[in-house]
Amino acid sequence: MSLPAAVTSHHTAWVSAPGGPPHPVRYAVDGDKLVCFGDAGLAGTPDRTHVSVAIHEIAGGHLLAQFGASLHLLAPDGVSANALVELLEHVPLGRTLEEVQIHLDDQRAKRRIIELIP
């Protein structure tokens, strides 16, 4: 199944694991993948868990789409640099290309990156 048309960049996804509260995550669209960081509120959610996803405009605006998805843990190199930069758009990445690359490599190594598959 493909992503709903309303799933575009710069929105917030509220992800709920079975029996758990919804957790807001910033997401990026990487080709046909919806990717986000799976640490913080989703850290304890195991790979391949079926979750509910609600897509809202930025800052919890009106509902754009709602669907069930399977949460899949990605390998550190399983997300493009562009998507990773988009996930980190609100974070200063460095003043030089070398600093930016070091910061991106650090985030790849330390963060849990997940894909939400409808």
Residue 3 lies in a domain: no
Domain count, the chain: 1
Residue-wise DSSP of 70-81? EEEEPPGGGS-H
What values do phi and psi take at 78, rounded to 5? -85, 0
Q: In terms of residue numbers, what domain contains 38?
A: 12-117
Residue 93 lies in a domain: yes
Residue 111 lies in a domain: yes
Residue 2 lies in a domain: no
pTM of the predicted protein model? 0.86
Q: Is the pLDDT of residue 85 over 90?
A: yes
pLDDT digits (tens, 9 = 90+) for 8-20: 876 789 999 999 9
pLDDT digits (tens, 9 = 90+) for 19-70: 999 999 989 998 888 999 999 889 999 999 999 999 987 766 788 899 999 9
pLDDT of residue 59: 64
Residue 97 lies in a domain: yes
Amino acid identity, position 46: P
Strand ranges, E, within 5-112: 12-16, 23-30, 33-37, 50-56, 63-73
